[in-house]
Amino acid sequence: MIAFHQNWFWVAVVSTGLVGAWGLILALLKRSAPRSFIYARWVAIASMGLQVGAGLVLYGRGIRPGNGFHVFYGIVILFTFSFAYIYRLQLERRPELGYGLLLLFVMGLGLRAWSNVG
């Protein structure tokens, strides 16, 4: 499980970064989100959710990272996704911009969590 959590980090961060940048580009070009963007954003959200879930499993098994801030950023990611769910109707007004910013923010949180491992 540790190896999965360490390796899946790259999938989660890259997918949230790419889809987030895609959303911002769509917003800047004033184009509506194609169906592929909608699917890609759910894949990116699920990949980061799986990463946080793996971290929770490890934490539950008593495996702690060297720094408490690693866990803090994982919790912030969960809260961010929770608030995004609560405000999903507002995000749907301009999904390209809203989800683009959301996913780039979550990517940044993932990178901050990774920087606090040691």
Task: pLDDT tens for the chain, 118 residues: list them.
Answer: 989 999 999 999 999 999 999 999 999 999 999 999 999 999 999 999 999 999 999 999 998 887 789 999 999 999 999 999 999 999 999 999 999 999 999 999 999 999 988 6
Question: Are 106 and 77 a contacting pair, CB within 8 Å?
Answer: yes
**pLDDT score at 34:** 95
Domain ranges within the chain, ordered by starting residue:
2-115
**pLDDT score at 118:** 65
pTM over the 0.85 mark: yes
**pLDDT score at 30:** 95
Helix ranges (DSSP H) in the chain: 2-28, 35-60, 68-86, 88-91, 95-115
- The conformational region for residue 73 under phi > 0 = left, psi -120 to 50 = alpha, else beta, is alpha
**pLDDT score at 7:** 93
